[in-house]
């Protein structure tokens, strides 16, 4: 046999020498170890939290399964021993070609018609490095492989060859690489493999899809002492399916980031403990409201200064909606847009927190008919402060503010806040003030974050970044802070929600909203460090049954915010802005009186579709009990101060002067358009 082997090998070498010169110039390029490692792609996206704790494993490639690259030092020595015993016993003693193994292979092919291979690990690695599998097939391919392996061995270390081999080698079924196969079969990473487990994995490489009996026979041949165990294990493992590598705690963020093509391990800005707490809270709230036809909810938590997302949660009681991302789903905004409406009016100096506005019936005429906005409770409250109208979420005053603006400035502010898919302003009309636009929880929460940051907006971040956020000013500091202050004071919302509700939490500003027919409800608010947005409803669009923002979304919001404030206590109460906001009396000018309405420089817009008697402007002033106070309008008409006076606006500029005993105390100018 030795003679026949030597003769066959001599013939092959002679033929090889003849053909070698011809093939040498056409050999494929051999990539470097560094190039190979850089080009390696996993089939998985592994999300870690901000501290590096595992969050979620998301599969990217549906055709094959490969995990992150595993270094040689991360692999059990037992596996290296089993691999070399199975595939290349002389690996560390040859320069890429094992002459004795190659001779045996040639003999088997010439005289036994057997396909036994003589490839070393280095030669097999060449095949794994090239997509064209035919490159090294047949006698010509084998010679090309022998010539090319010398290049590999001269530029790679043995450790690098070994490491690349077990990361690229196919194992069972769809699994490529040791890490994927190890977890699939034994629920462990390669560092923990025993000799028994290592043997079963190593013998798979020659025949990855062998049946249970063939598999155990190969393993028994290599390690006879474990033979009985191999027979049992092979039957159990042959159809075993892969379990997730880590807890599945960030499904929708993983799904979102996967669309960008990311693979491998990604350290996110999420906080694992907050993420898990919020998930459990959402599921608990859904279960408690299921009898009222509530099946979905979503929560987004953003750190104000950085824009980093700390929690990204969607919960559902319906498996068919498992992959619907509630953070990015478009739903009707309801009253949650009102703070941006009032901030726009404040910025234009048309209204301020202590201005007064009339909550009374109004008809708005359209081509298709007449629009009659109503408050949720079907009541009207007469003249009330703007801060009460906003915080108590009254609808009629909001529509009147929209009409007073008389332009597209509110819509433009929403565009500046990056609200997506807004239609043209004319599509919504005054109903935009009541939140008929479809928005996402992400855009809404980002908008409130801008209010928390005194009107500044920056993009969302899902990873911690060294560079500071790029801010742009959307609202003036004064107008944003004025809205934040209004939404922080419980007495302002007492008309609509009472003094003790789920919105009562020190150091926070918050607003709820409920869309038409109770299809969506919201609660969004912030403290000095975080903004938290919550949506509750049904992805199908079905109405909930008697569930408002205060009972659906607000309890989740409050518990998440309380959790945050336990970890990051609020250092100071909300800024005291209303005491110095426009509309307050200047004590140096008139220390004995305080003008509430109108403000100096105010611009009013008349609407021909509203009856004249519903467009009167109040003159409101707080004065001491002493007599002698009066108004004079346009240097003509004088009115004694005996309570609110309703003035009928006319086009042009008008001057309102406040007198005490004939002495001028205050002058206010108003423009009516």
Helix, strand or coil, per DSSP, at residue 618:
strand
Tokens 């009972």 sit on residue:
551
The whole-number pLDDT of residue 510 equals: 97
Helix, strand or coil, per DSSP, at residue 316:
strand
The whole-number pLDDT of residue 13 equals: 46
Tokens 């009659």 sit on residue:
372
| Domain 583-672, CATH class in plain words | mainly beta
Closest to 159 in 3D by CA, of 81, 73, 87: 73
The whole-number pLDDT of residue 353 equals: 93
The whole-number pLDDT of residue 178 equals: 96
Architecture label for domain 298-567 = 3-Layer(aba) Sandwich (3.40)
Tokens 């079963």 sit on residue:
200
Tokens 């309703």 sit on residue:
646
The whole-number pLDDT of residue 579 equals: 44
Q: How far is CA 536 from CA 320, 373, 523, in A?
A: 17, 24, 9
Ordered by start, the domain boundaries in the chain are 2-30+66-237, 298-567, 583-672
Q: How far is CA 188 from CA 60, 179, 181, 194, 498, in A?
A: 21, 8, 9, 11, 56
Q: How far is CA 167 from CA 30, 149, 155, 190, 296, in A?
A: 17, 19, 19, 11, 42
618 and 583 Cβ atoms separated by less than 8 Å = no
The whole-number pLDDT of residue 133 equals: 67
Q: What is the DSSP secondary structure assignment for residue 573, as one 8-state letter?
A: P
- Residue 443 contacts by C-beta under 8 Å, 6 or more apart in sequence? 417, 418, 419, 420
CA–CA distance, 119 with 91 (Å, rounded to integer): 11
CA–CA distance, 82 with 172 (Å, rounded to integer): 17
19 and 143 Cβ atoms separated by less than 8 Å = yes
The values of phi and psi at residue 314, to 5°, are -125, 130
- Residue 151 contacts by C-beta under 8 Å, 6 or more apart in sequence? 27, 30
Could you report how far apart the first and last alpha carbons of the chain are, in Å?
110
CA–CA distance, 120 with 158 (Å, rounded to integer): 12
Element (H, E) at 491: helix 490-497
pTM: 0.79
SS (HEC) of 204-254: CCCCCCCCHHHHHHHHHHHCHHHHHHHHHHHHHHCCCCCCCCCCCCCHHHH
CA–CA distance, 612 with 615 (Å, rounded to integer): 5
Q: What is the DSSP secondary structure assignment for residue 202, as one 8-state letter?
A: H
The whole-number pLDDT of residue 117 equals: 57
CA–CA distance, 418 with 420 (Å, rounded to integer): 6
CA–CA distance, 1 with 431 (Å, rounded to integer): 94
In the chain, which stretches have pLDDT less than 70?
1-26, 100-118, 133, 365-369, 572-592, 607-614, 624-626
> Please, where are the H alpha helices in 118-186?
121-129, 138-155, 158-168, 178-186
Neighbours of 20 (CB within 10 A): 14
CA–CA distance, 537 with 552 (Å, rounded to integer): 8
296 and 316 Cβ atoms separated by less than 8 Å = yes
Angle between helices 338-347 and 477-486 (to 10 degrees): 140
Q: Which two tokens stand for residue 391?
A: 């915080």
Long-range contacts of the stretch 462-467 (C-beta < 8 A, 24+): 462/253, 462/257, 462/268, 462/269, 462/270, 462/308, 462/309, 462/312, 463/266, 463/267, 463/268, 463/269, 463/308, 464/50, 464/267, 464/269, 464/306, 464/308, 465/306
Q: What is the DSSP secondary structure assignment for residue 6, as one 8-state letter?
A: H
Neighbours of 133 (CB within 10 A): 10
The whole-number pLDDT of residue 103 equals: 55
CA–CA distance, 168 with 118 (Å, rounded to integer): 20
Tokens 């109503």 sit on residue:
374
Cis peptide before 606 (omega within 30 of 0): no
Q: Which two tokens stand for residue 234?
A: 């092979």
Residue 670's DSSP bridge partners are 602, 654
Helix, strand or coil, per DSSP, at residue 68:
coil
| Domain 2-30+66-237, CATH class in plain words | mainly alpha
96 and 119 Cβ atoms separated by less than 8 Å = no
């Amino acid at each position: 046999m030795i003679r026949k082997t030597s003769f066959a090998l001599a013939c092959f070498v002679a033929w090889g020498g003849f053909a070698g010169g011809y093939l040498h110039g056409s050999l494929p390029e051999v990539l470097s170890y560094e190039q190979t490692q850089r080009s390696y792609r996993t089939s998985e996206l592994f999300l870690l939290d901000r501290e590096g704790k595992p969050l979620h494993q998301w599969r990217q490639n549906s055709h094959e399964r490969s995990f992150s690259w595993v270094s040689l030092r991360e692999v059990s020595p037992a596996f290296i021993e089993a691999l070399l015993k199975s595939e290349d016993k002389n690996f560390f003693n040859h320069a890429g070609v094992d002459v004795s193994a190659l001779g045996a292979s040639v003999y088997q092919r010439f005289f036994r018609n057997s396909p036994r291979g003589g490839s070393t690990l280095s030669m097999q690695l060449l095949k794994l490095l090239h997509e064209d599998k035919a490159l090294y097939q047949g006698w010509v391919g084998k010679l090309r492989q022998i010539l090319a392996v010398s290049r590999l061995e001269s530029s790679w270390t043995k450790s690098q060859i070994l490491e690349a081999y077990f990361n690229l080698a196919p194992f069972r079924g769809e699994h490529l690489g040791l890490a994927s196969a190890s977890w699939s079969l034994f629920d462990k990473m390669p560092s923990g493999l025993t000799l028994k487990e290592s043997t079963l994995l190593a013998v798979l490489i020659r025949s990855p899809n062998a049946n249970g009996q063939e598999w155990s026979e190969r393993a028994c041949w290599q390690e006879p002492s474990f033979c009985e165990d191999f027979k049992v294990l092979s039957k159990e493992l042959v159809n075993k399916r892969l379990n997730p590598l880590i807890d599945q705690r960030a499904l929708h963020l993983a799904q979102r980031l996967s669309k960008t093509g990311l693979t491998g391990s990604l350290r996110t800005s999420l906080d694992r403990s907050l993420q898990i707490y919020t998930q459990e809270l959402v599921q608990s709230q859904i279960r408690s409201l299921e009898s009222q036809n509530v099946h979905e909810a979503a929560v987004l938590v953003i750190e104000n200064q950085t824009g980093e997302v700390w929690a990204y949660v969607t919960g559902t009681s319906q498996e068919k909606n498992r992959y619907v991302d509630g953070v990015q789903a478009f739903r009707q905004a309801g009253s949650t847009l009102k703070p941006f409406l009032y901030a726009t009016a404040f910025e234009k100096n048309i209204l301020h927190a202590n201005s007064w506005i009339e909550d009374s019936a109004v008809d708005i005429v359209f081509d298709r008919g007449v629009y009659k906005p109503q408050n949720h409770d079907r009541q009207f409250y007469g003249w009330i402060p703007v801060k009460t109208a906003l915080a108590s979420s009254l609808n009629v005053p909001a529509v009147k503010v929209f009409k007073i603006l008389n332009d597209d400035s509110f819509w433009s502010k929403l565009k500046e806040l990056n609200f997506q898919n807004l239609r043209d302003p004319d599509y919504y009309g005054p109903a935009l003030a009541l939140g008929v636009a479809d928005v996402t929880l992400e855009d809404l929460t980002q908008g409130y974050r801008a209010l928390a940051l005194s009107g500044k907006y920056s993009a969302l971040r899902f990873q911690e970044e060294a560079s500071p956020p790029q801010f742009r000013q959307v609202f003036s500091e004064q107008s944003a802070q004025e809205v934040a202050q209004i939404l922080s004071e419980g007495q302002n919302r007492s008309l609509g929600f009472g003094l003790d509700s789920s919105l009562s939490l020190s150091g926070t500003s918050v607003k709820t909203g409920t869309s038409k027919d109770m299809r969506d409800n919201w609660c969004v608010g912030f403290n000095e460090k975080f903004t938290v947005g919550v949506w509750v409803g049904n992805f199908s669009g079905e109405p909930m049954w008697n569930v408002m923002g205060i009972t659906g979304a607000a309890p989740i919001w409050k518990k998440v915010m309380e959790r945050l404030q336990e970890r990051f206590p609020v250092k100071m109460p909300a800024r005291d802005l209303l005491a110095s906001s426009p509309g307050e009396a200047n004590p140096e000018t008139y220390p004995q009186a305080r003008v509430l309405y109108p403000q100096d420089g105010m611009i009013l817009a008349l609407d021909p579709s509203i009856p004249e008697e519903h467009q009167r402007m109040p003159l409101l002033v707080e004065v001491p009990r002493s007599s002698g106070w009066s108004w004079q309008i346009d240097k003509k008409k004088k009115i004694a101060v005996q309570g609110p006076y309703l003035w009928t606006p006319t086009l042009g500029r008008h001057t309102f002067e406040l007198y005490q005993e004939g002495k001028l105390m205050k002058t206010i100018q108003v423009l009516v358009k």
